Amino acid sequence: MRNRLALRTLALGYLAVLLLVPVGFVFYRTFEHGVSAAFDAVTTPAATHAFWLTIELVAIAVPLNTIFGVVMAIALVRGRFRGRSIVSAFIDLPLALSPVVIGLALILVWGTKGWFGQWFVDNGLQIIFSFPGLLLATIFVSLPFVVRETVPVLREIGTEQEEAAQTLGARPFQTFWRVTLPAIRWGVAYGVILTTARALGEFGAVSVVSGHLAGSTETLTLHVEDRYEAFDLTGAYAAAALLALIAVATLVSMTLLRRRRGDVGWASS
Amino acid sequence: MGYLSVIVLLPLAAVAARSMDGGLDAFWRAVSGAEAVAALKLTVIVSLIVAALNAVTGTLIAWVLVRDDFRGKRQISALIDLPFALPTIVAGLTLLALYGPRSPLHVDVSFTRVGIAMALLFVTLPFVVRSVQPVLLTLEPEAEEAAASLGAKPRQVFRRIVLPSIAPAILSGAGLAFARAVGEFGSIVLLSGNRPFRTEVASVFIYGRIQSDDITGAAAVSIVLLLVSLAVLIGIGLFGRRAVRDEE
């Protein structure tokens, strides 16, 4: 019994020192000078712009990756084509890459000295140091999650119901819409939450391709760094606290969804 | 398929091509420069230490969350995922607020290697816990109780009964944590001070090369970094397949 208590203290102590106290302290620092000071700090023009830019990126990247994720998962599980395991490995690649390397890779293709960048600039579309570059970076880093969460669920439900629907005369699209999608919806939803969290919070890749223009190409995470570097700690803590709040909301929805699906593990790949 | 190619494959091909732009000689010169070697070495060593620490603390936390019982256990268990949900720059700022130059505890780890290790421990916390926890849940406590009632000391029970079953999960969790730590950028950039040869990790080094327009150098070190984390991930994959086969 004494042993058990010692282990519990050790584990919780570690979590407290590394995780809970620091995160709590950021909230304390944010509201140290009152709620209105914190509110003012996140409603400066630069902060507001950064917030909406981040929301725009998420609003485009998440639906695209969701559609891609579901289609890809179905192709990987139900399809019969060669090189499926290679495709699957490539989808996981963004998880193994340093965000800085991802940013560099995008510059090399879409930057003015890159493979296609100059052509796009000549045709009036600047990609790097501009919105399309940020979007490409966001899509890249958040690509794997829907696929990874949907594949195991698709495997688990099997093909019997889909075959039954087809025998009864359902067209492929009807089968997908009425049979497959309802069965995988919680897996997809979980993937969407992970995608959103990653897209909102990405820093390294967007930092490389952004150009850091406040009020133009500065996302919320970049804004945190910018404020910190400018010694505006209230601004940095307030923006960080806003992001942390979104993270906590993400966490709560993850927990609720997991309970719904009835498992304890994370990312059941 | 086209989407995957345009978003992921094309850019990566560009990195590989660019790193070889000046031929193998230029590639070798870029990755064997003193600053690049120091950054890569620091990255791999700190990541190894962090992965090893995670193996211990992660197993401990998973064990406490599964076998122990106390109020608020469910909430704590949910909180383990917080580092995945929290943007990395916020993680860095968070540690800096409490353990930085303006620390109310007068503990300052900023601009040190300890600070880097702490940031990495923070962002990789969930990996081992989340890979060990489900395995522990499927283990019947009866075997442990039987061993204990036959006179085994707690340490023996753990080493002989529990550890063999969860070892593969610990290893794969630690491997994932290592792969993540090797490429980590956001949580370190504010905390480490990025002093060449002392606290500059590989991703920060690459970032610096990009800023000073040495794209070929950046691409070369990127390829090394990519190979290191790929090797680990492939290793985990092979190891996992063997573990599955052994069980069958």
From the list A19, A237, A240, the residue facing B125 with the nearest CB is: A19
- Residue A236: the pLDDT is 92
- Over residues A111-126, the pLDDT tens digits come to 887 888 788 878 878 8
CB pairs < 8 Å spanning A and B: 234
In-domain check, residue A145: yes
Q: Vertex A15, ends A14 and A17: CA angle to 5°?
A: 65
The total number of structural domains that make up chain A? 2
In-domain check, residue A267: no
Cβ–Cβ of B215/A108 closer than 8 Å?
yes
Same domain, A116 and A193: yes
User: How close is the nearest chain A Cα to the Cα of B180, in Å?
Assistant: 7
In-domain check, residue B224: yes
Cβ–Cβ of A108/B15 closer than 8 Å?
yes
C-alpha B171: how far from chain center:
12
- Over residues A77-122, the pLDDT tens digits come to 988 888 787 888 788 888 888 999 999 999 999 988 788 878 887 8
Cβ–Cβ of A228/B218 closer than 8 Å?
no
In-domain check, residue A47: yes
pLDDT confidence bin for B246, thresholds 50/70/90 = low
Same domain, A199 and A78: yes
Same domain, A21 and A51: no
The HSE-up count of residue A33 (CA atoms within 13 Å, CB side) is 11
* CA distances, A44 to each of A41, A84, A132, A160, B68 (Å): 6, 49, 24, 56, 47
Domain boundaries, position B223: 26-247
Chain A residue closest to B122 (CA)? A18
- Residue B2: the pLDDT is 75
> Is the pLDDT reported for residue B239 higher than 80?
no
In-domain check, residue B8: no
Same domain, A20 and A101: no
Same domain, A44 and A24: no
pLDDT confidence bin for A269, thresholds 50/70/90 = very low
The ipTM is 0.88
Average pLDDT over residues A221-245: 92
Return the CATH number at A95. Answer: 1.10.3720.10
Return the CATH number at B186. Answer: 1.10.3720.10
The amino acid occupying position A82 is R
Same domain, A5 and A71: no
* DSSP, residue by residue, B52-90: HHHHHHHHHHHHHHHH---TTHHHHHHHTTHHHHS-HHH
Same domain, A13 and A144: no
Cβ–Cβ of A21/B98 closer than 8 Å?
yes
A267 CB contacts (<8 Å, ≥6 apart)?
A148, A149, A194, B130
In-domain check, residue B1: no
In-domain check, residue A73: yes
Interface of A with B in 149-168 (CB under 8 A): none
Query: Model's pTM, two decimal places?
Result: 0.89
In-domain check, residue A141: yes
Same domain, A15 and A39: no
Cβ proximity of A55 and A135 under 8 Å = no
Q: Is A133 on the interface with B (CB under 8 A)?
A: no
The total number of structural domains that make up chain B? 1
From the list A90, A98, A200, the residue facing B4 with the nearest CB is: A90
Region label for A129, one of left (φ > 0), alpha (ψ between -120 and 50) or beta (otherwise): left
* CA distances, A201 to each of A2, A94, A110, B235 (Å): 41, 15, 23, 29
Same domain, A20 and A76: no
In-domain check, residue B17: no
| Least trusted range by pLDDT, from A124-128, A135-139, A179-183, B42-46 | A124-128
- Over residues A9-50, the pLDDT tens digits come to 999 999 998 998 989 988 988 888 888 888 888 889 999 999
- Over residues A43-56, the pLDDT tens digits come to 899 999 999 999 99
Same domain, A6 and A68: no
Domain boundaries, position A3: 1-30
The DSSP letter of residue A143 is S
Cβ–Cβ of B185/A99 closer than 8 Å?
yes
Interface of A with B in 227-256 (CB under 8 A): 228, 236-237, 240, 243-244, 247-248, 250-252, 254-255
From the list B98, B190, B230, the residue facing A22 with the nearest CB is: B98
pLDDT confidence bin for B241, thresholds 50/70/90 = low
In-domain check, residue A44: yes
A171 by Cβ neighbours in 10 Å (0-12 / 13-18 / 19+) ranks as exposed
Same domain, A23 and A151: no
B208 CB contacts (<8 Å, ≥6 apart)?
B194, B200
| Least trusted range by pLDDT, from A13-22, A61-70, A149-158, B16-25 | B16-25
The residue whose two tokens read 């962090």 is B50
In-domain check, residue B100: yes
Same domain, A52 and A139: yes
In-domain check, residue B46: yes
Spatial distance between the Cα atoms of B1 and B3, rounded to a whole number of angstroms: 5
Measure the N-to-C terminal CA separation of chain B; round to a whole number of Å.
Answer: 35
In-domain check, residue B91: yes
